[in-house]
Structure 1
């Protein structure tokens, strides 16, 4: 009988796949990063415990094209600054990806809030435009012009926090205790330029990042970067405390029942 590929793999095949995936070459991306100070109360409101706000209410939009051989990928995220147990990092709220292959592993292994979406990074001379879009709405758009090169930073370690969980089969709570995942990346930069421009946030019921307004723009850069990634579970999380936040992970039509933002007519 011919090999049935859905059948079980041998131990040797499992080990070969694991070894191969752990020795990936550097994969470079070209992308725009925008960082701004937002409303402190809004940033605090989106952080599930045990995450806490940092000293500055920062929001970061990362919009990139990734040079995967034969498989170009658009990847993005919108994250807020967060702290856990004295360690500062970022808590991503949404991570649009242009291919299903890129989002499945991240969601299942790390608990990343990845969703299929559209990612645009365009440069025409000095003019740059980058955007994240879903459901026909470019809910984040960064526009500007290259104003000059920046010094290349030394390799740096960056941290993201995710919550990994499985909603219960009966629709009430979780099937197992949620966990807090700390993902560490070692980033290298080979080109970095400063962008003079602005950030536009558009209303979207599915990706409501407009609730994190731009109070003060900190920086916009365009760079070519590569990084590795490793993760670990750092805490068991109270199911009761996390439950009010799990709609962040999904396109939940029941959000229409949520109250309007304060100050709305």
Structure 2
């Protein structure tokens, strides 16, 4: 019988796939990172328990083009500084990805809040730099500026991200099982880094309301080439009552199928920039 590809795979196939994933080479990305201070009460409002605000009310936006051979990927993230059990890190609110392949693994394995979107990073011959995140026809975050001086690449460092992994209940009430808080530790290597003098523009979007994280003081913008690996662990079980008020962070409005198409980005009601 011809092989049925939806049929079960043997132990040897499963083992080869696992071994191949453990031997992935360094995958480099070119990206813009912008960090700014926002209102402390805003950071506190978006953090589900048991996360707590970090030492400073920081927001970090990363917009990258990932050098996957034959399969280039745009990857973005908007996160706020947070802390759990004394460990400082970042809590991403939205992570746009340009391909489903990157989206599925992160959401199902780690609980990352990934969504399909548009991600671009551009460098002009005159030193102009531009990066943008967009979904539903709305560019909700844009970083523009001019490339500056080269910085010494920092030593390899570890960075911690916090995610909540859960499955909504089949009957639409609560979860199928207790959610878990995931600590995802990344070891990051940087081979080039430049300053960028520019601005961050946040545009109103009902689907990705990062405009609620206003730029009160711009800390830095950089352009770099980086690679990283990651490993995760379950750090804590989370009560459904604590997490349910924040589940909407993960999804667009479930009633949007009844709505008219979203307005063009040019009709955005407000912009906040610095």
TM-score (norm 2): 0.92
Task: Quote the residue 1:121 is aligned against.
Answer: 121
Question: C-alpha distance in 2, partners of 1:225/1:55?
Answer: 26
SS across alignment from 2:242: helix
Deviation at 1:147, TM superposition (A): 1.5
Q: Which runs of 5+ in 1 are unaligned?
A: 257-265
CA distance in structure 2 between the partners assigned to 1:244 and 1:22 by the alignment: 37
Measure, in 1, the Cα distance between the counterparts of 2:252 and 2:30. 28
The 3-state SS of whatever aligns with 1:2 is coil
Instruction: Classify 1:253/1:174 alpha carbon distance in 2 versus 1 (closer, same or farther; 3 Å).
Output: closer
1:54 Cα deviation after fit:
1.0
- Distance between the aligned counterparts of 1:173 and 1:250, measured in 2? 14
Q: Distance in 1 between matches of 2:195 and 2:167?
A: 41
Q: Deviations over 1:64-86 (max 9, x none)?
A: 00000000000000000010000
Q: Which residue of 2 aligns with 1:19?
A: 19
Report the Cα distance in structure 2 between the residues aligned to 1:89 and 1:252, rounded to whole angstroms. 28
The offset of 1:5, in angstroms, is 1.1
Alignment of 1:224 with 2:225, yes or no, is: yes
1:129 to partner: Cα distance: 0.4
**1:204-255 CA deviation, whole Å, 9 max, x = no partner?**
0000000000000000000000000110000000110000000000011559
Aligned counterparts of 1:93 and 1:22: Cα–Cα separation in 2: 28
| 2:237 is the counterpart of 1:236 | yes
1:32-181 maps to which residues of 2 (within 5 A)? 32-125=32-125, 126-181=127-182
Q: Residue by residue, what CA displacement relative to the aligned partner does 1:40-95 show, whole Å, maximum 9, x if unpaired? A: 00011000000000110000000000000000000000000010000000000000
The structure 1 segments of at least 4 consecutive aligned residues displaced by more than 3 Å after TM superposition are 253-256
TM-score, normalising length: structure 1: 0.95
- Alpha-carbon separation, structure 2, partners of 1:205 and 1:111: 22
SS for the counterpart of 1:229 is strand
Output one character per residue of 1:89-113: Cα deviation in whole Å (capped at 9) or x when no partner: 0000000000011100100000000
- Match of residue 193 from structure 1: 194
Report the aligned-residue RMSD.
Answer: 1.1
Secondary structure of the residue aligned to 2:244 is: helix
SS in structure 2 of the partner of residue 50 of structure 1: coil
CA distance, structure 1, for counterparts of residue 255 and residue 87 of structure 2: 34
Partners in 2 of 1:224 and 1:237 — Cα distance?
A: 36
Alignment partners' CA distance in 2, 1:154 and 1:250: 36
Q: Distance in 1 between matches of 2:78 and 2:142?
A: 11
Number of matched pairs: 256
